[in-house]
Amino acid sequence: MSEPESRDFIRQIIHDDLESGKHKEIVTRFPPEPNGYLHIGHVMSICLNFGVTDETDGRTFLRFDDTNPGKESEEYVAAIKNDVRWLGFDWQDRLTHASDYFGRLYEYACKLIELGCAYVDSLSAEDMRNYRGTLTEPGKDSPYRDRSMEENLDLFQRMRAGEFADGEHVLRARIDMGSPNINLRDPALYRIRHITHQHTGDEWCIYPMYDFAHTLSDACESITHSLCTLEFEDHRPLYNWFLDQLKPPHRPRQIEFSRLNLAYAITSKRKLNSLVEEGIVTDWNDPRMPTIVGMRRRGYPAAALRDFVTRAGVTKKDKLIEMGVLENCVRENLGDIAERRMAVLRPLKVVLTTYPQDEVEMMAAMNHPGRPELGTRELPFSRELWIERDDFMEDAPRKFFRLKPGGEVRLRFGYIIRCDEVIKNDAGDVVELRCSHDPDTRSGTGTSDRKVKGTIHWVSCQHAGNADVRLYDRLFTAANPNSAADFHTVLNADSLQTVAAMLEPALASLVVGEAVQFERLGYFCLDSEDHSAAAPVFNRIVTLRDSWAKIEKQALQKQS
Ligand code: ATP
Ligand code: MG
C-alpha cells in the first residue's frame, strides 16, 4: 500500500470509510465512452480512480460506457486501453463494458415496472419534450403514465422483442413530473434503436440510458465510490433513487469533483473531434492536441502527466490550470533523464580563419551536467561551424554577451572566438561570420584562464546531420477557448513552425521514444509518425525555463 502524496477530500472520505469499517476494500471504475480519444481531463479521472485503489490495495475497473451505439467504435476502445496502460495503470482482469450488463439491466428495468416505478410511454419525442416543462415550470404527466403494470411489462417485453420501430415507445421511470430537478421528471430508461452495437451486435434493439446503465453497472461491479465530475451532481438524486428502489446487494456512493480544464486548450471530445475533422490539426495525435496520444507523440512523459494532475489536485472548485504548470512538470521530468546534445535550429555559418583547413578535433562533451555517470561523447570541431542566428547581433547593446562584431564568445566544449568580419549578401542579410579562435582556450585542456561572459552552442558543418524540427506553440490565443462562442476565432495561426536544423552526429543514433535536451533550446524527441533515418523529424517537447533569455531580455529592455 503506497501513501498518497496528500489527502484530498475524496481520499479523506475513502480513508474514513476504511477506518470506520464501512468498506474493507475500495472499488472504483474509470468509465469512458469510446466515442473519441482521451484528453488531459481524463488523465485526472484515470489517476484518481486507479490512484486511490493503488494506495489502498483496492480494485479499479476499466469500464467502457457503450450505451450509445453508432457513435462508438473499436478504434477508440483500443486507443483508450493503450492510453490507460501507457499512463502506468493496470486493470488486470477488470476490463468491462456497460453492455456486459445489458441482461441484468433489463431485469432491473422489469423489476422497476413490477414495483410500479417505471412505465412505457408512447408520446412522440416532441410531446415528451413539451410535457417535460422547463427550469421554471413543472412538467405534466403523460397520458400513458398510469398504464397497468401488466401492460407495461408486456409492452417492454415486446420492445425488446423488436416489435416496434425506433421512437415508438420509451421506458420511463415514474418519479415526479413536478420535481424542481429536471432529472427526476420521469427520465427515460430505455429507448428503441434498431442499430448494430459494436460489442453486442444485433442482440438488442433497446438500449439503456446513461443514468440507469451507469448506476446499475456500478452496483453490478460492487463499486464503492463512483467518482465523477461535477456536472453529474444534479443526477445524484436519480442515482440514489435507482438504488433505493432496486436495493442491489452493493450500494455505491457517487461523489463529484470538478473537471480539470487546461488554459489555451480544449477539453471536450466533441470539439477536439472538430479540430480533426476540419483539418485544423493533422489527427487526434497531432502533438499540439491535449489528447493523451497527442501528448505522448509530443514527447511528454507519462510521469509528467501524473505529476501534473497531482499538482492540480482533486477539489470541488472549477479550475483552469495554466499551461505553464503542465510544461513545468514535463521539464522537471525530462531534466533528469534527457541527455544533452547540440543542435542549431536557425543556422548561421561561422568560418574560423585561424583554424587549419583540414583539422578535426574531438571535443569531450558531457552527456548530462548533473549526472556524470552518463559519461561523455565526442563532438567533432572544425574550421566551419553553424551557430544560432539569434546568437549574433550586428548592432548589439552593451549587455549582449553573445557574438557581435569585434566581440568574443565561448563555444561550448570548444574555444573562445572573436568575430572579425560580417559577410552579407546583396540584400544586406548576414550570411556568414569570419572569426578567429584563441588556441589556448580549449575547454578542459586550454592553458589560458581567460573568461568571457557568453557561451553559445554550435555544430561542425562538415559533420552536421539535417533534420526538420517542429516547434509547437499553443493551439489557441485565448486562455479559455472552451468558453469562446466559436473557438475558430481564437485559433493561433502560428501554433506550428518547422525549421531546417543542423545536428551533431551523436543525434543520428537517437531512437524514437527517447528525449534529449538540445542545449540552450529545449527538450526534443523524434516524431513517432513522420521520422525516418533518411529524413529525420524532431518535435520540440517543451522549451527550457530559459533564465538567460529572460534576464538578457530584461537587460535589453532597460537599455533601450
Ligand atoms: P468529453 O466532454 O470530453 O466528451 P466526457 O465526460 O463525455 O468528456 P467520458 O468518456 O464520459 O467523457 O469520461 C470518462 C470519465 O472521465 C468520466 O468519469 C468523466 O467524468 C471524466 N472526465 C471527463 N473529462 C474530464 C475532465 N476535464 N476532468 C476530469 N475528469 C473528466
Ligand atoms: Mg460523458
Which residue, judged by its Cα, is nearest atom 23 of ligand 1?
42
Residues contacting 115, CB < 8 A, separation 6+: 245
> Within a 10 A sphere around the Cβ of 162, how many other Cβ atoms?
13
d(CA 228, CA 250): 18
The runs of H, that is alpha helices, within 286-322 are 292-298, 302-312
Which residue, judged by its Cα, is nearest atom 15 of ligand 1?
32
- CA-to-CA separations, 167 to 65, 150, 177, 528, in angstroms, rounded: 22, 21, 21, 46
The three-state secondary structure class of 506 is helix
Regarding the beta carbon of 255 and ligand 1, being less than 6 Å apart is answered no
- The closest-lying atom of ligand 1 relative to the alpha carbon of residue 45 is 30
Q: In this structure, which ligand is nearest to the CA of 270?
A: 1
Answer positive or negative: Cα dihedral of 366, 374, 293, 10: negative
Task: Say whether 297 is catalytic.
Answer: no
Q: Are 391 and 403 in contact (CB under 8 A)?
A: yes
Regarding the beta carbon of 229 and ligand 1, being less than 6 Å apart is answered yes
d(CA 403, CA 129): 72
d(CA 44, CA 203): 35
Regarding the beta carbon of 273 and ligand 1, being less than 6 Å apart is answered no
Q: Are 133 and 140 in contact (CB under 8 A)?
A: yes
Closest alpha carbon to 27 in 227, 216, 258: 227
Pocket perturbation via mutation, ligand 1, pick of 37, 44, 45 by most ligand atoms within 8 A of CB: 45
Give Rg (Cα) of the chain.
31
Task: Say whether 33 is catalytic.
Answer: yes
d(CA 71, CA 77): 12
Burial class (CB in 10 A: 0-12, 13-18, 19+), 347: buried
Q: Which residues face 447 on adjacent strands?
A: none
Give the helix/strand (H/E) hosting 380. strand 376-381
Q: Are 6 and 256 in contact (CB under 8 A)?
A: no
Catalytic residue, from 259, 349, 418, 545: name it.
259
d(CA 524, CA 80): 25
Regarding the beta carbon of 382 and ligand 1, being less than 6 Å apart is answered no
Distance in Å, CA 260 to ligand 1 centroid: 9
Q: Are 13 and 56 in contact (CB under 8 A)?
A: no
Regarding the beta carbon of 258 and ligand 1, being less than 6 Å apart is answered no
Residues contacting 58, CB < 8 A, separation 6+: 25, 26, 27, 28, 52, 224
Regarding the beta carbon of 268 and ligand 1, being less than 6 Å apart is answered yes
**Which grid coordinates are listed for 490?**
481564437
Give the helix/strand (H/E) hosting 127. helix 125-131
Residue stretches of the chain with pLDDT short of 70: 1-6, 546-560
Distance in Å, CA 32 to ligand 2 centroid: 7
DSSP class of residue 31? -
Distance in Å, CA 64 to ligand 2 centroid: 11
Regarding the beta carbon of 10 and ligand 1, being less than 6 Å apart is answered no
Give the helix/strand (H/E) hosting 539. strand 537-543
- The closest-lying atom of ligand 1 relative to the alpha carbon of residue 46 is 16
Q: In this structure, which ligand is nearest to the CA of 38?
A: 1
Distance in Å, CA 10 to ligand 2 centroid: 21
d(CA 37, CA 300): 17
Regarding the beta carbon of 44 and ligand 1, being less than 6 Å apart is answered yes
Regarding the beta carbon of 321 and ligand 1, being less than 6 Å apart is answered no
Distance in Å, CA 124 to ligand 2 centroid: 26
d(CA 515, CA 506): 13
**Which grid coordinates are listed for 523?**
527538450
Q: Where are the beta strands (DSSP E) in 206-360?
A: 206-208, 225-229, 253-257, 260-262, 319-321, 339-341, 343-344, 347-352
Q: Are 459 and 343 in contact (CB under 8 A)?
A: yes
d(CA 267, CA 481): 9
Domains and CATH numbers, the chain: 9-257 (3.40.50.620), 269-298+314-335+467-559 (2.40.240.10), 343-457 (2.40.240.10)
d(CA 444, CA 463): 22
CA 150: distance to chain centroid?
51
The three-state secondary structure class of 171 is strand
**Angle between helical axes of 210-220 and 236-246 (0-180°, round to 10):** 60
Pocket perturbation via mutation, ligand 1, pick of 38, 229, 266 by most ligand atoms within 8 A of CB: 229
- Grid look-up 495525435 returns 285
Q: Are 159 and 192 in contact (CB under 8 A)?
A: yes
237: Cα within 13 Å, side-chain hemisphere: 12
Residues contacting 19, CB < 8 A, separation 6+: none
Residues 87-123 as b or e (16 or more Cβ within 10 Å = b): bebebeeeebbbbbbbeebbebbbebbeeebbbbbbb
**Which grid coordinates are listed for 228?**
465523477
Regarding the beta carbon of 41 and ligand 1, being less than 6 Å apart is answered yes
Residue 553 is predicted with a pLDDT of: 55
Which residue, judged by its Cα, is nearest atom 14 of ligand 1?
32
- Grid look-up 547581433 returns 393
Sheet holding 118-121, edge to edge: 118-121, 170-173, 188-192, 206-208
Regarding the beta carbon of 526 and ligand 1, being less than 6 Å apart is answered no
Q: What is the pTM of this model?
A: 0.93
Which residue, judged by its Cα, is nearest atom 18 of ligand 1?
228
What percent of the chain has a predicted confidence (pLDDT) above 90?
91
d(CA 32, CA 36): 9
Q: In this structure, which ligand is nearest to the CA of 267?
A: 1
DSSP class of residue 398? T
DSSP class of residue 460? E
Residues contacting 122, CB < 8 A, separation 6+: 144, 168, 169, 170
Regarding the beta carbon of 469 and ligand 1, being less than 6 Å apart is answered no
d(CA 38, CA 267): 9
Task: Say whether 259 is catalytic.
Answer: yes
Q: Output the CA angle 138-143-148, nearest 5 degrees.
A: 120
Catalytic residue, from 269, 377, 470, 474: name it.
269
